[in-house]
Amino acid sequence: MKKVYISCYENSDYLYKDILVKSNEMRGNKLFQLIESNPDWIEKDYLTKKENIIPFIKKSILKTADVVLFLIGNETKKRRVVDWEVRAAMTKYGIFEKCGIVVVYLPELIEKYGTKIPRTVLPNILKDNIDKSDVFMVETTWDKIKRDINILDKLFNTAYAYSKMSKYDLDSTPIELENVNNYPANSFK
C-alpha cells in the first residue's frame, strides 16, 4: 500500500478528494495511506520564507509520500501551491526521494474538451514535463476511477515504479510566486 498525498485546488475540486478519502476509509484504508496537510500553513510559510518553499513542502509534507495524486480541474493551474507541490514531488531532496505522479482529469474538463484535453489546463511545471521522453507520469480520468476505485492501486504502483526513472526539468519553467488572476492567497474553499 502506497503513501499518497492528494493535491487539488481547494474549491469544488475538494469534493473529489473527499470522495477518494471516504472510499478508502470504507475499504479499511487498504487502497492507500493518506498524507494530510493544510494549505493555510503552506501559504503562511511562503509568506515568511519565499526562497525555501519547495524544500519546506518536501521535508514537512511529502517526506514520506510515495505518490502524489493531482486532481486537475478548470482552476487548478491558477493556484501557486499546486505548482509548489508538483515541484516538491519532482524533487529528490537529501534522503527524500522523488514521488510518483498521478494526474487525474476531473469531469468538468471531460465535459468541456471530451477526450482531447489540452495540456494548457495543467500547471506549467506539469505541462512542460509530462510529454518529455524521459519523464513518466500516470494520467487518467475521474470517470475511470469512479468506475473502478480499485484501479488506484495499479495507478499508484505504476507511478511509484516510474518515479526514480523520471528526469524532470525544473529549471526551464519559472516557479509560480503569485496566484493567477489575483486569486486571494488565503481563499481555500
pLDDT digits (tens, 9 = 90+) for 111-148: 999 988 999 999 999 999 999 999 999 999 999 999 99
Instruction: Count Cβ atoms within 10 A of the Cβ of residue 139 and give its class: 0-12 exposed, 13-18 middle, 19 or more buried.
Output: middle
Boundaries of domain holding 156: 2-165
The pLDDT tens digits for 2-31 are 999 999 877 778 899 999 999 999 998 888
Is 182 part of any domain?
no
* Residue recorded with cell 534522503: 95
CA-CA distance, 112 to 97, in Å (whole number)?
Answer: 36
Is 150 part of any domain?
yes
Is 76 part of any domain?
yes
Is 70 part of any domain?
yes
CA-CA distance, 124 to 131, in Å (whole number)?
Answer: 12
* Residue recorded with cell 505541462: 127
Listed in order, strand segments (DSSP E) in the chain are 2-8, 32-35, 67-72, 100-105, 138-141
Is 180 part of any domain?
no
Q: What is the CATH number for 69?
A: 3.40.50
Enumerate the β-bridge partners of residue 8. Answer: 71
Is 71 part of any domain?
yes
- Banded model confidence at residue 185, pLDDT cuts 50, 70, 90: very low
pLDDT given at position 62: 92
CA-CA distance, 76 to 126, in Å (whole number)?
Answer: 11
3-state secondary structure at position 110: helix
Is 110 part of any domain?
yes
pLDDT over 60 (residue 44): yes
The domain tally of the chain equals 1
Is 187 part of any domain?
no
